[in-house]
Structure 1
Amino acid sequence: MTPSTLRRRSAALAGAAGVLLATGAGAQAAEAGRDELPLGTIDLDGQETPVLGSFVYHQFHLDTNPEIRGLVHGVQRVEGGTVLYYSVGTPAGSSASAFAGAMAFPDSSHPYDGSHGVDLALVDTQSLAAYRPLYTSSETFTSATADLEASPGELVVGWAVFPELAADVDTVQVTMPWGTAVGDVPVGEGALKPVAQEPAPLLGEGWPEVPTADALAAADAAAVTYSLVRRTGDEEGTSTTEESPEQVAVTLDANVLFASGSADLSGDAQQVLATIAADIADRGTGEVVVTGHTDSDGSDTFNQTLSEQRASSVLNVLQPASGSGVTFTAVGRGEGDPVAGNDTDEGKQANRRVTVVYAVQGES
């Protein structure tokens, strides 16, 4: 296959609008109206080229600027790190006369080298961890933007190295510039081959050479590893959950759990509390703290007593169903710990709540 044919194949991938390339056993199919590629492998001049996801955004995140398109080809474990391989370019017919790497990335900043494409991340949504590219005082372990050059319709291959992933991580979310996400990318083993002579080859002409384990060993993985918080809520608004790798904090709407001025749980509370108890039994550890809160209506004494009673009511349902691996404490805060102003009905409603906080062990 000639270089011009290769580039036409790359253009077909970069400008995939309206074409579905079905891979496996050389099968191909076209389907109008599709802007997506399947997961799989495409044969480019005898090179098995994995396609694990695609992304589209505009230069500098402005709709009036040229469109940037690309593919994710691998998230690979190597000694000392994890390598992301991607390809990027502008589609055929783009308003840009040529593609340059600086079009695809915002200006990088300290501690990274300003001439590299670093607005990238790997996100482990199970363990709630995010990773930025590795670096040292003298080296940034990503493609230099000056190396990423191509004509419209071509895709050029870039790379970035992140910290080593835990052994049980089998998929990650890849975040490209300006938060453009490619989800559920499988994690593979070993650097992609064959290795090209160029630092940023065109797609189908090999893969960039990545740093050695000795070079990566000088980077501080902890400096580019971040804990995340997941926030979720149920459809009825009965509970909201804030989860980090270390703990879970559930906020229960007392307006749903209890009648006004009462500490008797409603029927709607039972299923919500059963779900929380099941999670505590599965992975909770240490102390579970149940805390009641009220608005400012009524006397301080009444509100303090009501908050204690409501916390105890929730504890009495959770504790028998949560197993023996945790201990429980019920606390009442009365009106003393508001999350909103008590001068509006909405603020008072937010303040009437019960929280359940517990540490977790193992995977999130």
Structure 2
Amino acid sequence: MRITQDVRYRKGEFVKNLRVAAGALTTAVLLMPAAAVAAPAPLPTVEGVPVLARAWISNTRDGGSAVLTVHGVRRIEGATVVYFSMGLPKGAPADANRLFSYYGGGFWNTLTVGNSASGAECAVSLLDIAGGKAYSTLPISDANSCLGTKGIDFSPPADKPNAAVVGWSIVAPLPKDVTTVDVFISSQVLPDVPVEDGLLEPVSQDPVPVVGTGWPKIPTARLSEVVDADKAVFPLMSRVQPIDVPVAEAQTSEGVQLEIPASVLFEFDRSDLPPAAGEAIDAAVAKITAAGTSGAITVTGYTDSTGDDAYNQALSERRAQSVLAALQAKLPGTITLTAEGKGEADPIADNGTDDGRALNRRVTITLPK
């Protein structure tokens, strides 16, 4: 039995149809491309307003739906601005406005790629499938925050119950040769959205304007507050995880990568392989052999952030070397293995939770292309 193939990222893992571990919370999330969902009920047409993609946002509190629209993915110096809006469809219940903030809550709590920040402004990512990269929201020095519409209610004016309200988010800059992206926002994937240049005009005086009354003013000067911009860009993975074998197989831009949780291989704070680790080692050998691998293989050990940096580095190196020795005894001489440790570097989950730390403790085996 196998779980279906899914697209994932390193850091904050994006998942199309799989179980997602987000900090201490583990929940099943179904992310469906907009093209695969029934067309949303129409919102009032506004002349001159671009509609690049549209999807439903479901609300589990009252069973209703709101309409999410992407109006622009705009390239600016040092960043990319995503304009989006949310509104109630025609025919929505008369009391829907009272519950409208529940839909907005979908932005607050959605899966965020690339960082642990919360809020609508942090819940946007751009996917370049062909280039194998995900571009997430740019983190700023204000802890757990990103550049974008902050604290937006998305509630329309009382006299315009079906009006959509505009929000925005600033994402890592896209390469110049990327002309279309898939937009991941509020647990929805909206495919094939064109990338254009420059900010939308005219600019409204309202920080959260109604669609058709102008566009939010984007504070580009605040790009100076961005920290660790490189951490907002991640390699994409196509990953298959067998349920009965604890070895994940991922396609990355560098080649095939096998990943084994440290809990499967080692006892706590140990680097010697117990007999119980044999199944995982045999599974990895079978995958390497089936791939027809020859040449150099790199075995890399990782730890969580608990403990001293130097100790974690040494532990990760010892664990990588133990796995290398076990593999070397079972693989042909045409394969060369190299071991390295990266300690707590390159975490794939939040080190602030038990579940996140467990995901970060791992050994990867990178096969050549």
Q: Which TM-score applies when normalising by structure 2?
A: 0.51
Q: Partner residue of 2:136?
A: 132
Which residue in 2 is equivalent to 1:84?
Answer: 82
1:132·1:225 contact (CA, 8 Å) conserved in 2?
yes
- Could you give the per-residue CA deviations for residues 253-290 of structure 1, whole angstroms, max 9, x where no partner exists? xxxxxxxxxxxx9xxx9xx97xx99xxxxxxxxx4559
Query: Given the superposition, is the C-alpha separation of residues 202 and 104 from structure 1 closer, same or farther in structure 2, using an over 3 Å criterion?
Result: farther
* Partners of 2:109 and 2:118 within 8 A in 1: no
Residue 285 of structure 2 is matched in structure 1 by none
1:358 aligns with 2:368: yes
CA contact (8 A) 1:121 1:175 kept: yes
Partner residue in 1 for 2:194: 186
Q: Is this contact kept in 1: 2:57–2:68, CA < 8 A?
A: no
1:36 counterpart letter in structure 2 = A
Superposed displacement of residue 157, structure 1: 1.1
Residues 56, 67 of structure 1: 8 Å contact kept: yes
User: Which whole-Å CA distance do the structure 1 matches of 2:105 and 2:164 have between them?
Assistant: 13
Whether 2:124 is the aligned partner of 1:120: answer yes
The unaligned stretches of length 5 or more in structure 2 are 1-36, 242-247, 260-288, 299-326, 338-364
Is the partner of 2:140 in helix, strand or coil? coil
Cα displacement (A) at 1:217:
3.0
Query: Counterpart in 1 of 2:155?
Result: 149
Is the Cα contact below 8 Å between 2:135 and 2:174 reproduced in 1? no
Q: Where in structure 2 are the equivalents of 1:104-253 lying within 5 Å?
A: 104-107=106-109, 112=117, 116-138=120-142, 140-146=146-152, 148-150=154-156, 151-177=160-186, 179-212=187-220, 214-220=221-227, 221-231=229-239, 242-249=250-257
Question: SS in structure 2 opposite 1:222?
Answer: helix
Q: Is the 8 A contact 2:152 2:208 kept in 1?
A: no
Q: Do 1:129 and 1:228's aligned partners in 2 also have CA atoms closer than 8 Å?
A: yes
* Cα distance between partner residues in 1 of 2:67 and 2:191: 16
| Alignment check: 8 A CA contact 1:193 1:206 kept | yes
Q: What letter is aligned with 2:252?
A: S
RMSD of Structure 2 on Structure 1 (CA):
4.0
Letter in 2 for 1:78: I
Q: How far does residue 245 in structure 1 lie from its aligned partner after superposition?
A: 2.6
1:88 deviates by 0.5
Shift of the 227–305 alpha-carbon distance from structure 1 to 2, 3 Å rule, reads closer
In the aligned structure 1, how far is the partner of 2:129 from the partner of 2:253?
A: 10
CA distance in 2, matches of 1:148, 1:194: 20
SS where residue 154 of structure 1 aligns?
coil
Q: How does 1:1-364 map to 2 (within 5 A)?
A: 35-36=38-39, 44-45=46-47, 47=48, 49-59=49-59, 62=60, 64-95=62-93, 96-98=96-98, 99-100=100-101, 102-107=104-109, 112=117, 116-138=120-142, 140-146=146-152, 148-150=154-156, 151-177=160-186, 179-212=187-220, 214-220=221-227, 221-231=229-239, 242-249=250-257, 287=295, 329=335, 357-359=367-369
- Count the aligned residue pairs: 229
Query: Given that residues 108 and 118 in structure 2 are in contact (C-alpha distance below 8 angstroms), is that contact kept between their aligned partners in structure 1?
Result: no
Please tell me whether the aligned partners of residues 147 and 199 of structure 1 are also in contact (alpha carbons under 8 angstroms). no
Distance 2:233 2:366 in 1: 28
Counterparts of 2:75 and 2:328 in 1: how far apart (Å)? Answer: 56
C-alpha separation between the residues in 2 aligned to 1:157 and 1:305?
57
- 8 Å contact 2:51–2:71 — kept in the other structure? yes
Q: Secondary structure at the match of 2:231?
A: helix
| Aligned twin of 2:281 | none
- 3-state SS of paired residue (1:44): coil
Q: Helix, strand or coil for the counterpart of 1:358?
A: coil
Distance 1:305 1:105 in 2: 48
Q: What's the % identity of the aligned pairs?
A: 28
1:208-256 Cα deviation digits (max 9, x unpaired): 11121x42133021233333311369xxxxxx962113222499xxxxx
Task: Answer 1 or 2: higher relative contact order, Cα 8 Å, separation at least 6.
Answer: 2
Please state how far the C-alpha of 1:172 moved relative to its aligned partner: 1.4
1:300 alignment counterpart = none
- Mark the structure with the bigger radius of gyration: 1
Contact 1:68 1:104 in 2 (8 A): no
Going from structure 1 to structure 2, the CA distance change for 1:329 and 1:77 (only over 3 Å counts) comes to same
Deviation at 1:163, TM superposition (A): 0.9
Secondary structure of the corresponding residue to residue 215 of structure 1: helix
Is the Cα contact below 8 Å between 2:121 and 2:147 reproduced in 1? no
